[in-house]
Structure formats: C-alpha cells, structure tokens
Structure 1
C-alpha cells in the first residue's frame, strides 16, 4: 500500500527593510577619580546625537545609508569615575523610510521606534562590553552586573 505524501511548499520573500552594516568607535575615555568604597551605583546611558545620510557601497537599488552618531556613558555614584564612548552605527534603509527618518530627526530629534530600537540595542551590546573591559583596566567596578556564585546552604 502506498500513501500519498502531502507536501506543502512555503515560499518566503526576503525583504530587507533595514540592515546594520557598520559600527565604529571614534572616542573612548575612562577615568577613575576616587577610591572604590561602600555601595556604588552605576548609571549607563546611551543617546543618539545625530543622524545623517551617507554614501555606502553595500546597498541595493532603492536604499540609502544612514549614520547614527551615538554617545554612551557610564557614571559612577559616588563620583569615583566615568566612561565615555562615542561612535557611529551605519544602517541601510529603504530610500523613502530613510528620508522620513531624516525629516523626523531634523524636526524633533526623534526617529521611528523600530529603527531606534535596533540601533540602540546594537550600541548597548557593543559598548557595555567595551565599558566592562575598560573598567577593569582602571580598577573600577564592572559597569554591568556580572553573575556570581553563591554557596549552597546546608
């Protein structure tokens, strides 16, 4: 007896809406200004300082390159140190959407949440790691919480 196989083919259309194609740092600064004592609070912050159109060699027809200039800071309380990282995230976006992003940025210094979410998550991912390494070099507490082993209670 032969059974017929019911095979369904699913075709996916790949539409590249936005792609992060570059990340670079142009300023890294960290300093310890006091001794590490007591309870320390660390405030990490990231902000987009500028968005502008750039020419990128890696794009499809109908796409534009955008450069998101950012600033990442880690401030220690009490004032025992700080870190500053500046750089750029390069994004390829649909031409119309890129124009809308630029228009909105020039108008009120905001951009669409899906684009900003992707850009800010990229900045946080890369800069938190960099800040963690830098904080070790100047003997500051880690800028992000690290896992710790706790002894088992008997």
Structure 2
C-alpha cells in the first residue's frame, strides 16, 4: 500500500488573544469524499484544530491517493457506499487517518505560529521529578527531566 497526500487549502484564523486560562485543542480528520481514480483510491479530507475557548481555528483540506490491490480498492469503495459515505475498512481507515494526522499536524504547528495561536500539540516540559531512570551505558541513575 502506498499513500500520497497533497494539501488543497490551508486556513488559520485567530479570533482573539489567548486568555490567561488553559486552552484545549481538539484535532479531527474527516473524510469528505472517496472515489476510484486511475486505479487508485482518491480520498478528500478535512483536518481541523478547534480551540476551547474559541480563540481561533486551523483547517486543512487535501487529497489523499492510495495505491493498493484492485480487490482492496473496490472493497473500500463498497464499504464507503454501504456505510452511507462515512467509513472505510478499519485497517485502511487507520492508515489513512494516521497519514492525515501525521502530515497535517506538522503543517498546523507552522500555521499556528504564523497567527500566534498555541501549537495544536502538547509541548514537552521539563520536570525535575523523583523518578529515576538507569542510563544503559553506565551504572549511574539519573533523574528523568523530560516529559
């Protein structure tokens, strides 16, 4: 199975400045159209980052092209039609959504910086904790400080 992804539309908006409280970000990918094109599965999608409180949004539209066996492509089209145009076979849906998320989240981080929104992924933080880990290259235990 081979997957190609192309962005069609990138949108980032900031509605207001970031409030002093916590900000939650909900990331979502939605398949909007699935069809067979030149022997490949063509998938239109929308990836969105919604902020709570509503300080802004990020929306990415794109096209994904999946190459696989004729049987798998035809089977995916049948599942898509039978489900009311809402789902693909589970194993294929997992791969498709993972590719969408991994590609779009990187672009969403860049877009969030451009419009001064919080990044749509958790930022690693340093915490000097009482948890220890053993460095496999030495006999010393050191404190773990990256979360």
TM-score category of the 2 structures, normalised to the smaller one: 0.7 to 0.9
1:53 aligns with 2:28: no
Q: What SS class does the counterpart of residue 147 from structure 1 fall into?
A: coil
**In the alignment, what sits opposite 2:104?**
127
**In the alignment, what sits opposite 1:76?**
51
**In the alignment, what sits opposite 2:16?**
34
Distance apart, 1:138 and its partner CA: 0.7
Q: For residues 129 and 78 of structure 2, what CA distance do their matches in structure 1 show?
A: 57
Q: For residues 141 and 82 of structure 1, what CA distance do their matches in structure 2 show?
A: 10
Q: What SS class does the counterpart of residue 27 from structure 2 fall into?
A: strand
Distance apart, 1:151 and its partner CA: 4.9
* Coordinate RMSD, CA, aligned: 1.4
Distance apart, 1:152 and its partner CA: 6.5
User: Higher relative CO (CA 8 A, sep ≥ 6), structure 1 or 2?
Assistant: 1
What per-residue deviation string (whole Å, max 9, x for no partner) do you get for residues 5-44 of structure 1? Answer: xxxxxxxxxxxxx221x11000100000011011111111
**In the alignment, what sits opposite 1:95?**
70
What per-residue deviation string (whole Å, max 9, x for no partner) do you get for residues 27-68 of structure 1? Answer: 10000001101111111111111111111xxxxxxxx31111
State the TM-score, normalized to the length of structure 1: 0.78
Q: For residues 42 and 97 of structure 1, what CA distance do their matches in structure 2 show?
A: 35
Return the index of the structure with the highest Cα Rg.
1
Q: What SS class does the counterpart of residue 68 from structure 2 fall into?
A: strand
Structure 1: runs of 5 or more not aligned: 1-17, 56-63
Q: For residues 8 and 81 of structure 2, what CA distance do their matches in structure 1 show?
A: 23
Aligned residues: 127
Q: For residues 105 and 72 of structure 2, what CA distance do their matches in structure 1 show?
A: 29
